[in-house]
Chains A and B, each alone.
Chain A
Amino acid sequence: MAIRSFLLFLLCFYSSLSPVLSLYEDQVGLMDWHQQYIGKVKQAVFSTQKTGRRRVIVSTEENVIASLDLRHGEIFWRHLFGSNDAIDGIDIGLGKYVITLSSGGSILRSWNLPDGQMVWESFLQGPKHSKSFLLVPTNMKIEKDNAIVVFSNGGLHAVSCIDGEVLWKKDFEAESFEVQKVINPPGSDLIYVVGFAASSQFEMYQINARNGELLKHESATFSSGFLREVSLVSSDTIVALDSTGSILLTISFQNGEISFQQTPISNLYEEFSGPAVIIPSSVPGIFAIKTNAVTIFIRVIGEGKLEVVEKTNHEIAVSDALPISEGQQAFALIQNAGSEIHLAVKLAHDWDTNLLKESIKMDQQRGLVHKVFINNYIRTDRSHGFRVLIVMEDHSLLLLQQGLIVWSREDGLASIIDVTTSELPLERDGVSVAKVEHSLFEWLKGHMLKLKGTLMLASPEDVAAIQSMRLKSSEKSKMTRDHNGFRKLLIVLTRARKLFALHTGDGRIVWSHLLRSLHKSEACLSPIGLNLYQWQVPHHHAMDENPSVLVISRCGPSSDAPGVLSFVDTYTGKELSSVSLSHDVAQVIPLPYTDSTEQRLHLLIDSDKHAHLYPKTSEALNIFKHEFSNIYWYSVEGHNGIIKGHVLKCKCTGDMAKDFCFDTRELWSVVFPSDSEKIIATVTRKLNEVVHTQAKVIADQDVMYKYISKNLLFVATVAPKGSGEVGSVTPEESWLAAYLIDTVTGRILHRVTHHGAQGPVHAVFSENWVVYHYFNLRAHRYEMSVIEIYDQSRADNKDVWKLVLGKHNLTSPISLFSRPEVITKSQSYFFTHSVKAIAVTSTAKGITSKQLLIGTIGDQVLALDKRFLDPRRSVNPTQAEKEEGMIPLTDSLPIIPQSYVTHALRVECLRGILTVPAKLESTTLVFAHGVDLFFTQLAPSRTYDSLTEDFNYALLLITIVALVAAIFVTWRLSERKELQDKWR
């Protein structure tokens, strides 16, 4: 009995230890989450036909076209175009095809509306590059074909809607002709192409839509020229501004006759000063201009007469016109007013009456309304109802109907610039105990269910209950720090200058914050978020101080625009403070020192090579002065191929003379010959990487010492000719050189050339090795190489006696000014995929073996054991090497389908992979971001330090109870037997 239960226990123990190389189907979603986004919407088209009525088709700035559910905002289908295939226009043809024009107007595609399958694709060539327009007339038939009119690449094309065949084509050869509008008046067979030529000439072409024949060509000159934006107010009138931006021009081309009508804006609006701009719209009879902060709506009353209908100081957004009934067109107008937005739907010809007027409370963190798209529906009482889709400043997408936000999508998360992590608050005492008691019964019940599952007694309902219980475990989405360090906050900076905090447990948004300091203002015209750094990570004061992050941004696209720093609390999302800098930010160096409040010292380098210390406190200055002579930094000038090393010199001289500003001095330089080498990749080790041991025990009980300097820089250069696309050069003309450079002294520690290799190079640096990926032109394959660097100066410390007697140099400080004694080992392997990003797993203590995380071209993340990229692999490893775990040499790296960490999912447009150590040594957290987000936990050497989450504690408990009972019973039996023996 006892033996049997012991065996049962053994069996149960071993089953729980069975290797977990990949996920089982029912484990998907337990520790990982995946979110799909589309990006900032550029254009939205509502489907009007019966079945498609519940859908909206959108194109976005991330080059996605997607079909969204109008009721819930979910994605029906979605396609991602490449980064060089930007979408210029979308429309719906024949009610069932989505037509997209992309790549600067050269690719026209048609997609099936219900399921998103591609129907046809055609390429439109033309003589020159130009603006492109897509026009899908509702009932224009050319030989029974419904036609699409496309103006692109300097030519007008009519394309069949059914099969994408070009029906006719008309080229506009005129050199300087710039098209502004392509117009097809409803119900007519004419197409008007209007635009400007030579800055002061207005041109109008009238074309027969049936065969592309040029019917009429008129041009007229306006002496003072035009601004480029125009607004279409009717099918034969457009409004433009003259080149000074102060005179409105109404240009009408009725019957092919061009006539100008000039109206100075000051006639309409007395306080007018400074240039105005036209807000592009196409509402019949109405247009809007913006001057300073005032937006003016102007009505066109026949014969070019203009009349101001409304002036407003609020930021506004206007939709295009939507035909609602015969001859009537409606449009939506949204005004931003503080915490509310005012939505008005008006008829185009009747400004004063509102079809709809609503005020909607809007979250301040969404910013202003940028775009509006209007759609109508028939209400239950047969009147017209309207719903609008709005795009906000933070790139989110919202649907408004009946004065409510029906749904919202946080599509700002599709364009992440930088990611960092933050710990969650510690659990306070007195909260958890009661909860545990309360859920004790639940806990038992859950384990009984699990037990049933293990013993295969569970009914299908029970199985479903078990699965949902596992997925919804409240444990993983708690807002407190956990023992294993699995729960964290991912702090994410998006292109819309918004910060998000995502919970690693389930990916929900904990808080979001549109950076106040980065609002457009006089001083800062076009702010751009750049980087995130951990500013304050409290350990000693973790109970009463919140961690904060530093957001670095700059005003304007040029690199010498002044920088802005903002400090944001990571628990609440509040912006603690912000500083507008007087200098620009070329480089940010987080120093390994913290002050008494555990704020990390940061050194900001500007483009004049001055170093500025933050935080600007005397305490920080004292700490900094103490380490002053030990701070070295380097700069990479990629454009002219120079890498320079610098050291701090003294306080700034001249007008910059301040306490926290320091001059620097150039210490070393590496100049790559411009005719043979061009820098394409530089990689360093992660600052926070932990290396467990410097020694590496190899076969035969021998020891090698890793060269683990934090100041190593990997540089990859290619021949300037070979820096283009793969295939643009012959193998003889192309080479790739890899360097390991010490950034303190500028020594080149290792230098190797790969002939016949070409970029792009993706590399990752960790501990004492670097792995890089490139294309081998000779073998026509991608290759990955590994370089490992070992310290020879410590190689003598192998003798045990030396260690015992202390005659070793392991504890002596290392100076990088000593001549390095290093050896390197390297090896190359073929790799099937091209790569979008490479990262490496990182764990808390660095004991666990490493895996490379490779973002493949298929937008998946592949985990590859570092052991495969060991330079010491040989064809026939010796017995000792086999025991060490060395894999016999192969020429290519294996791609094991089970080792995709994204399993069946794709992280569309993968841009970056972040790995964060959990507190549990075996586990690392992985966050991959692109248009989609994906998060999971990885255990590169399996979870050797914890039981798996589906470990059955109840079974263990029962086994122990049974064992104890068995002991008692057998004891009793033996007692009795002995007694009987005695009485015999």
Chain B
Amino acid sequence: MDTIKVVAAIILTIYLFPFLSFGFQSDELLVDDEEFGLEGAPQPRFPEPTSTRSAPVTTATRKRHSDLDSDSKIEFSLDHAFGDSDFSPAGTFSARIKTWSHGGQTLTKLRFSRNNFTNEEQKKFKNLLESDDFYRIRLPSNVLSPPGRDFIISSVKARCLPREGLDEHFVIHMEGVNVLAVNYGSPGSCSYPRNLKLPVKWSFSSYTVLKNSEQAPRAPIFTEEILGGENGGGEVVQPPERSFWAKYWMYLIPLGLIITNAITQAMNMPEEQATGQVPASAGMVQRGPSSAARRR
């Protein structure tokens, strides 16, 4: 237990080291998700791969620089809606497309810049908070040719977002250049019942994570074991070897009982004989006490 804790702590420090060394301003996003990191090890509450204070953005349209063949920059926009309202632009994601030698394309270096809420939007958001309604966002399903087949929508109860400011957390599931799904919500927990709480600052702090599919571990293959198993008649479950006591206790206990019984009887016999002989010699004199002693 303790050793595990120590190991976990070590892992944790190693794990956090890159963040510490690069500092918070790093916009480098590792493609592999940090969230699931090492299996079994306790994870930091906030991996904080990208933390971008909202910066004003001039345009929400997509730009593409084709100066690099294998590494080109794209932008795609994030739209939001308040309750049932229509979607309007809320921010821009920019990323680099990396083209792999086998033809696949993936996104790297995702950055996000959030537009500040306008006064009207603030009012709408307040309304959402009051009515405990949904704040909805959407992304194109294909980042190269938005919106792709359909928009990817995600929603969260508006009351989950306010903390100090407004905290949001995106996990964007990608498949090549297609967006599969986006998990949107607060970076921490959202307690229930949700209480009405207005943010102090009306600015977003956003955390974004890009995720690609993991490879499944292959089924283990043991050739030797198969052969061995076949020789053994296909028996796979071998019952653990039990000790002699565990196997035969049900015989041993009665046996022990019988033996102790026999011994006590054997002990009694000579004693009886002995006690029987003593009074026989001096019986006339001390009859009473001897019988009392025997009955004791």
A binding-site residues for B, Cβ under 8 Å:
3, 7, 10, 14, 629, 640, 642, 647, 649, 665-674, 676-677, 700-702, 737-738, 741, 745-748, 751-755, 776, 779, 783, 785, 792-793, 795, 812-815, 817-819, 821, 823-830, 875, 882, 887, 889-892, 894
Contacts and interface: CB of A to CB of B under 8 A. Distances in A.
A792 B176 CA distance: 30
Interface string B147-161: 011111111110010
A812 to B, nearest CB: 7
Size band of the interface chain B makes with A: 35 or more
Nearest to A11: B250
Interface stretch (B15-23, B51-59, B196-204, B221-229): B221-229
Contacts of A745: 154-156, 183, 185
19 contacts: A642-B150, A669-B151, A669-B181, A671-B149, A671-B150, A673-B141, A673-B180, A737-B213, A747-B183, A752-B213, A818-B160, A818-B185, A818-B189, A819-B188, A819-B189, A823-B36, A823-B40, A826-B216, A828-B219
Contacts of B176: 673, 676
Given A667-B136, A745-B154, A891 B185 contact: no
Nearest to B153: A669
Interface string B204-237: 0000000101111111111001100100001011
Contacts of A892: 226
A785 B217 CA distance: 10
Contacts of A776: 219
Contact of B240 (A642, A747, A882): A882
B42 A792 contact: yes
A888 to B, nearest CB: 8
Given A673-B178, A676-B176, A817-B160, A830 B154 contact: no
B39 A748 contact: no
B257 interface: yes
Contact of B190 (A671, A746, A818, A827): A818
Contacts of B289: none
Interface of B: 1, 36, 39-40, 42-43, 84, 132, 134, 136, 141-142, 148-157, 160, 169, 171, 173, 175-176, 178-181, 183, 185-194, 211, 213-222, 225-226, 229, 234, 236-237, 240, 250, 254, 257-258, 261
A666 B153 contact: yes
A900 B143 CA distance: 51
A390 B263 CA distance: 84
Contacts of B187: 819
Contact of B216 (A642, A677, A753, A882): A753
Nearest to A827: B217
Contacts of B150: 642, 669, 671
A633 to B, nearest CB: 14
A373 B192 CA distance: 68
A795 B153 contact: no
B1 A702 contact: yes
A821 B43 contact: yes
A411 B175 CA distance: 49
Contacts of A647: 134
A452 to B, nearest CB: 26
Contacts, number: 170
Given A3-B258, A746-B181, A819-B186, A890 B222 contact: yes
A813 B195 CA distance: 14
Contact of A748 (B181, B192, B257): B181
A732 B213 CA distance: 17
A792 B189 CA distance: 12
Contacts of B149: 640, 671, 673-674
Nearest to A704: B40
Contacts of A826: 216-217
A887 B237 contact: yes
A745 B185 CA distance: 9
Contact of B148 (A629, A671, A828): A671
Contact of B180 (A649, A670, A817): A670
A447 to B, nearest CB: 26
A818 B156 CA distance: 10
Contacts of B42: 792, 795
Contact of A649 (B84, B151, B169): B84
Scoring A701, A830, A890 by chain B CB atoms within 10 A of each residue's CB, the highest score goes to A890
A913 to B, nearest CB: 24
B107 to A, nearest CB: 14
Contacts of A875: 220
A346 to B, nearest CB: 65
Contacts of A818: 160, 185-186, 188-191
A817 B136 CA distance: 13
B192 A891 contact: no
Contacts of B236: 887, 890, 894
Given A677-B175, A813-B191, A828-B217, 8 more contacts: A667-B153, A669-B152, A671-B152, A674-B149, A701-B1, A755-B215, A817-B160, A891-B222
B216 A752 contact: yes
Nearest to A887: B237
Contact of B192 (A668, A669, A814): A814
Given A672-B180, A819-B186, A830 B250 contact: no
Given A753-B216, A882-B240, A817 B156 contact: yes
A792 B149 CA distance: 35
A823 B181 contact: no
A734 to B, nearest CB: 14
Contact of B250 (A14, A640, A677, A747): A14
A223 to B, nearest CB: 51
A642 B151 CA distance: 10
A674 B157 CA distance: 30
A747 B178 CA distance: 17
A668 B155 contact: yes
A671 B141 contact: yes
A815 B225 contact: no
Contacts of A752: 213-216
Contacts of A673: 141-142, 149, 175-176, 178, 180
A742 to B, nearest CB: 9
A668 B153 contact: yes
Nearest to B222: A891
A345 B221 CA distance: 70
A647 B222 CA distance: 49
Contacts of B169: 819
A823 B35 CA distance: 10
Contacts of A667: 134, 136, 153, 155
A517 B244 CA distance: 70
A891 B217 contact: no
A655 B54 CA distance: 45
Contacts of A891: 219-222, 225-226
Contacts of A747: 171, 181, 183, 185
Contacts of B194: 815
A817 B157 contact: yes
Contact of A779 (B39, B219, B222): B219
B190 A817 contact: yes
Nearest to B235: A894
Nearest to A700: B1
Given A737-B213, A753-B216, A825 B39 contact: yes
Contact of A746 (B183, B216, B257): B183
Contacts of B84: 649, 665
A420 B203 CA distance: 54
6 shortest A-B CB distances, which residue pairs? A818-B189, A673-B178, A828-B219, A815-B192, A747-B183, A670-B181
Contact of B254 (A7, A14, A828): A7
A215 to B, nearest CB: 61
A814 B192 CA distance: 7
Contact of A793 (B181, B189, B219, B261): B189
A629 B217 CA distance: 40
A669 B139 CA distance: 10
Given A670-B152, A671-B180, A3 B134 contact: no
A751 B141 contact: no
